Each structure stands twice: as structure tokens, then as C-alpha cells.
């Protein structure tokens, strides 16, 4: 309880996580890359002079400008332009933002759902626990991409098309999120089972602390670390799932393209020499997912050596 006298920064500095972090070049490099990507994507309006989705600022005559370092390149379009004259760099950053928003939202959705179910299942036990764990088993065998496609397919049938374009991003978040929750549920249930039988929980129960408070105050903090690890790796999976669905043409509409949509659109120009239209979004996506995976790997080793896939 000495920690209380220290500032939070000092607490972090003193923790084993921090020490392990500054000793791991992989972790530093990947988190730096991620920070830059996150920053640029979320403040893209401040960084790039172009808004690729404002038609009045585009000129079709700018289309197919190659990257600036090549012979026909223009300095104002660093990574060149696409077939509609949109600046590639801005388009990628805007697209990356969509990918990140979908990825994060999906992961938070599945985290809340999974942890909620896992916690309560572990805490209350009985038939309820059985049903939840059976559901997790079933869900785990169904590959995420299939689940997502299915949800999207059903949504297309249920929602009218005009609505669908507006709803697409929510459908996508739900579709990806719904397929990732079992991991969270399993971990949080296991941790809950361990904590539940500890003396302090029994004591709290005896003195009449409500179940909800016990769950949130005592058990929840103990499962944060594994959840964080799963969440990080899940984020990479969610981003890849999003780009895959968009590539297949069932993700976000082309009017608000994500990285996957950009790759799909650029694919048409792969042979005609305009390689940059598909190459840059693809490389950007790979760097993003790779960095998150590296960070996730490092977190798994550091935060929770026992946790395995």
C-alpha cells in the first residue's frame, strides 16, 4: 500500500512491465509505429491538406499521378493519386481511421460481452454457466470470417439497401465483435473461478457486500491483464477481418473506404503499371497488423507468461 504515496508515473516506472518494456526493442519499435499510425489517422485533418471525400476538391485530371519520387511524380502527392485523383496518403490515413474505428469498436464490443458473460458464468455457476460455456465452445469452432459474413448477409436481407449503407459500419462492428467474444469469456470465467474461492471474497460475501460490487471491485481487476493481451491480439484479428470483408465487397461501402476497400479498388490497376494504388494500402495494413501482433506477443510474454492460445 506504499504505492499510494507515489505519483502514478512513478508507480508505472517502478513496475515490472515498464522495465520489461524499455528492455525490449521490439516492443518499443512496434508501439512507436502504432502511436504514429494512430495519431496520424485520428488527426488526419490536421496532417494532410486534402480531404479525399470532398468531391469538389478533387480533379480527375490529377488521377494516376505516381509517387513523388518517381519520374512523373508531383511533390504535392507524396504517394501519388488513385484513379479518381485522390491523394493516396490522405486516402490511406482516412481509410486507416475507418479500419481502426471498426477494429477497436468490435474488440470493445466483444470484450464487454465476453467478460460480462465469463464473469457472471464463473460467479454464479450452475445451469447458467453451463449454457454460457457451451455457447463459447460452439462459437469457438465457427471461424470468425464465416460468422461475420453470415451476420452481414442476414443484415443485408433485413435492412433495406439505403439503410444498409448507413448501417454498414455498425453491422460490421457487430459481425466482427460477435465472433471474438468467446476468448474473453473463457479467460474471465477461469479467473473468476480462482478468485471466487479466495478467502477475501468469501469474507465479503459474509459481511453482505453485494455480488455486483464483488465482481467489479475484486474480481475484475484480477482479469485485466489477460484480457488486455487477448484484446491486443484480437485487435489485429479484427482489423484483418474488417479488411478482408471489405476486400470481398461486403464491408464498408466504397464511399467511405477502409484499407481493405482501397486494396480491392486498387487491385484493378495492378497490371497496368499503377502499382502504388494497391501497394501502399496493402503495405500499410500489413505494418499495422504486424506491429499490433508484435506488441501482443510481447505483452503475452510479459503480462501473462502462462497464457496460451
Smaller CB separation from another protein, 4 or 161: 161
Q: How far is the CB of 94 from another protein (least distance, A)?
A: 16
* Interaction of residue 299 with another protein, rule CB under 8 A: no
**Cell numbers found for residue 207:** 459481511
With b meaning 16 or more CB within 10 Å and e meaning fewer, what string describes 263-278? bbbbeebeeeebebbb
Q: How far is the CB of 269 from another protein (least distance, A)?
A: 6
* Interaction of residue 31 with another protein, rule CB under 8 A: no
| Secondary structure of residue 304 in the 3-state scheme | coil
Q: Are 258 and 53 in contact (CB under 8 A)?
A: no
Q: Are 193 and 215 in contact (CB under 8 A)?
A: no
From 55-63, 114-122, 193-201, 220-228, give the range in contact with another protein by CB under 8 A. 55-63
Residue 283 has φ and ψ, to the nearest 5°, of -65, -35
Residue corresponding to grid cell 453470415: 150
With b meaning 16 or more CB within 10 Å and e meaning fewer, what string describes 224-262? ebbbebbbbbbbbbbbbbbbbbbbeebbbeeeebbbbbb
- Positions in 165-204 near another protein (CB under 8 A): 165
Smaller CB separation from another protein, 81 or 120: 81
User: Can you tell me which of 13, 17, 143, 170 binds another protein, judged by CB under 8 A?
Assistant: 143
| Secondary structure of residue 87 in the 3-state scheme | strand
* Interaction of residue 54 with another protein, rule CB under 8 A: yes
From 4-12, 103-111, 115-123, 255-263, give the range in contact with another protein by CB under 8 A. 255-263
CA 197: distance to chain centroid?
A: 34
User: Can you tell me which of 7, 8, 141, 197 binds another protein, judged by CB under 8 A?
Assistant: 141
Closest Cα to residue 148, out of 206, 106, 202, 193?
106
* Interaction of residue 305 with another protein, rule CB under 8 A: no
* Interaction of residue 284 with another protein, rule CB under 8 A: no
Q: How far is the CB of 128 from another protein (least distance, A)?
A: 18
Contacts with another protein by CB under 8 A lie at 54-56, 58-61, 63-64, 83-85, 141-143, 145-146, 149-150, 152-154, 156-158, 161-162, 165, 236, 240, 243-244, 247-250, 254-255, 260, 263, 267-274, 278, 282, 285-286, 289-290, 292-294, 297, 308-309
Amino acid at each position: 500500500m506504499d504505492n499510494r504515496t507515489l505519483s502514478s508515473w512513478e508507480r508505472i516506472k517502478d513496475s515490472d512491465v515498464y522495465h520489461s518494456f524499455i528492455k525490449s526493442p521490439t516492443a518499443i519499435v512496434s508501439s512507436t509505429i502504432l502511436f504514429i499510425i494512430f495519431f496520424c489517422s485520428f488527426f488526419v485533418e490536421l496532417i494532410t491538406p486534402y480531404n479525399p471525400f470532398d468531391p469538389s476538391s478533387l480533379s480527375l485530371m490529377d488521377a494516376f499521378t505516381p509517387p513523388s519520387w518517381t519520374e512523373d511524380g508531383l511533390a504535392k502527392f507524396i504517394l501519388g493519386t488513385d484513379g479518381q485523383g485522390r491523394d493516396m496518403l490522405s486516402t490511406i490515413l482516412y481509410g486507416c481511421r475507418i479500419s481502426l474505428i471498426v477494429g477497436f469498436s468490435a474488440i470493445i464490443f466483444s470484450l464487454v460481452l465476453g467478460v460480462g458473460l465469463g464473469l457472471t458464468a464463473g460467479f454464479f455457476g450452475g445451469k447458467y454457466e453451463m449454457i454460457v460455456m457451451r455457447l463459447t465452445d460452439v462459437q469457438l469452432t465457427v471461424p470468425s470470417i464465416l460468422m461475420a459474413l453470415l451476420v452481414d448477409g442476414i443484415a443485408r436481407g433485413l435492412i433495406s439497401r439505403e439503410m444498409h449503407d448507413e448501417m454498414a459500419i455498425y453491422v460490421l462492428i457487430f459481425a466482427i465483435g460477435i465472433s471474438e467474444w468467446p476468448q474473453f469469456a473463457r479467460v474471465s470465467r477461469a479467473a473468476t473461478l480462482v478468485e471466487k474461492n479466495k478467502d477475501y471474497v468469501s469474507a465479503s460475501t459474509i459481511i453482505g457486500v453485494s455480488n455486483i460490487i464483488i465482481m467489479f471491485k475484486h474480481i475484475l481487476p484480477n482479469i485485466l491483464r489477460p484480457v488486455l493481451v487477448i484484446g491486443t491480439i484480437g485487435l489485429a484479428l479484427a482489423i484483418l477481418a474488417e479488411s478482408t470483408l471489405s476486400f470481398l465487397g461486403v464491408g464498408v461501402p466504397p464511399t467511405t473506404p477502409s484499407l481493405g476497400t482501397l486494396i480491392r479498388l486498387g487491385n484493378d490497376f495492378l497490371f497496368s503499371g499503377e502499382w502504388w494504388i494497391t501497394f501502399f494500402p496493402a503495405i500499410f495494413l500489413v505494418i499495422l497488423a504486424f506491429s499490433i501482433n508484435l506488441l501482443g506477443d510481447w505483452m503475452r510474454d510479459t503480462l501473462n507468461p502462462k497464457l496460451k492460445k
